[in-house]
Amino acid sequence: MIPEGPSPVTSSPLQFFPWMSPSPGIGSPFPWLWELKPEERGLWLIRLLVACANHVAAGSLENANIGLEQISQLASPDGDTMQRIAAYFTEALANRMLKAWPGLHKALNSTKISSVPDEILVQKLFFELCPFLKLAYIITNQAIVEAMEGEKMVHIIDLNSCEPAQWINLFQTFSARPEGPPHLRITGIHEQKEVLEQMALRLTEEAEKLDIPFQFNPIVCKLENLDLESLRVKTGEALAVSSVLQLHSLLATDDEVPRRNFNSPPVSKTRVLQMTQRTFGEWLEKEPAHIYNPSSDIASSPSSLAPAPKMGSFLAALRALSPKVMVVTEQESNHNGPTLMERVIEALNFYAALFDCLESTVSRAPIERQKVEKMLFGEEIKNIIACEGGERKERHEKLEKWILRLELAGFGRVPLSYHGMLQAGRLLQTNNYDGYKMKEENGCLVMCWQERPLYSISAWGFRR
């Protein structure tokens, strides 16, 4: 236990650790940092990150700057798990600080180029390096196959159409049906035309090989701008909807946060600094709530579901299309809290587990792993921490909230396919994905790293 002292809002992070003096030294202003053992370094990085985030939340930029300087001595995008996480969290915190000077922030970001090929590549790398998307596609496809048994015309709406591998697997299953494959139409939604063009090309090639009557209907738009009339659902079609890591972005359209709410109250020191001499991995596994317990916050309770009329309208409109099944995959974490500190602590726990599973699966050197961490996880972290209002798209919520939202929109839960879960289990076993687990929860499926839930999958049908 760290002894009580000055408030973390008004004091430097160093005042938490009076025995650590920032006296100048050769090569580093904080020479004591280099004396830490690896297991100690992880704990100090967490403490420094939370203290720094408290200063950012309180608008104490001078103290936050001191904290960032300390953390930069330990963080590294190619170090161990905690060093890598710290590198991206400090970047996100610094980005949020820079927004206090809009001109400076815009100038530093004015020449950044968003590359569609890079976006496609990083999604493919995540698919290949971690099993989560593979599992989601297996479960989704099997739910669709079973819902479409006996149907001759099938229409699938893909709310995030970017990975051909999902539907190629479905094509193969449909082609093996005793009665032959159905006439299949996929409506793919994505904001990048190039992504949809590649999807159409790859899927059309595969459908021709398997002799499946197929049509791809591309819709280039952001999900929040989708006109449901453009889906062109025809009479006689059996409809399915697939949403993989996409629905949460709609919550941004319901949130225009006033500037006065940009900062948030700090987390008290007694709640965040109750860590002993355990390593970070042990601490995270055994005491994930000790740093900050979001359940004590009303905003994190499922019963306090924030009003989201646009999300509600979108789900109700989908329900009005009468889909036989809708399968939803989402991140299993609450990154949509109203305060910065809620989101920082939730994100630290969530992304620590993601970085840890990559650490166990892929060695540190490969550029592919660094691209996933920087271009995917790092950008998500930055959006969760540095952005507010409509700009904050990564509004991940837990399964319990999605259950409430979908039921309010008129959907009813559909049991997930037992055969699909068997297939997913075999994937983990045959590919030696040690440490990855699946758990059933409320009739839905939760994908975990060790015991930490990371993604949820749920299936829904329209209630008459």
What are the residue ranges of helices labelled H in 163-268?
Answer: 164-175, 193-210
Q: Which two tokens stand for residue 310?
A: 């646009």
User: What are the C-alpha distances in Å from 338 to residues 297, 342, 372, 377, 382?
Assistant: 10, 7, 27, 21, 16
Give every CB contact of residue 425 below 8 A, 6+ residues apart in sequence. 438
Structure tokens at 61: 């930029």
26-40, 49-63, 115-129, 267-281: range with highest mean pLDDT: 49-63
Encoded tokens for 213: 């009557």
How confident is the model over 256-278, as a mean pLDDT? 40
**Which pLDDT value is given to residue 464?**
63
Say what the pLDDT of residue 31 is: 58
pLDDT of 205 over the 60 cut: yes
- Given this model, what pLDDT does residue 103 score? 84
DSSP strand pairing (153-158 vs 183-190): parallel
pTM, full prediction: 0.84
Give alpha helix (H) positions in 112-240. 116-129, 132-147, 164-175, 193-210
> Which pLDDT belongs to residue 110?
74
Pairing of strands 444-449, 436-441: antiparallel
Dihedral-angle region of residue 236 (phi above 0 means left; psi in -120 to 50 means alpha; beta otherwise): left
Instruction: State the pLDDT at residue 32.
Output: 59
Percent of the chain with pLDDT over 70: 81
> Can you read off the two tokens belonging to residue 75?
């963080």
Q: With a cut of 90, say whether residue 408 has pLDDT above it.
A: yes
291-298 contacts: CB < 8 A, separation 24 or more? 291/46, 291/50, 291/345, 291/348, 291/349, 292/50, 292/267, 292/341, 292/342, 292/345, 294/334, 294/337, 294/342, 294/345, 294/346, 297/337, 297/339, 297/342
pLDDT above 80 for 265: no
Using CA atoms, how far apart are residues 221 and 391, in angstroms rounded to an integer?
17
- Mean per-residue pLDDT of the chain: 82
Cβ neighbour number for residue 257 with a 10 Å cutoff: 14
What would the mean pLDDT of 65-80 be, rounded to a whole number?
Answer: 90
Distance from C-alpha of 67 to C-alpha of 50, rounded to nearest angstrom: 10
Q: In this structure, which amino acid lies at residue 123?
A: Q
Check if the beta carbon of residue 43 is closer than 8 Å to that of residue 278. Answer: yes
The larger pLDDT score, comparing residue 444 to residue 256, is at 444
Question: Is 167 within 8 Å of 188 (Cβ atoms)?
Answer: no
Give dist(CA 407, CA 315) in Å, integer: 10
Percent of the chain whose predicted confidence (pLDDT) is above 90? 59
Reported confidence tier of residue 283, pLDDT bands at 50, 70, 90:
very low
The better pLDDT of the pair 105, 148 is held by 148
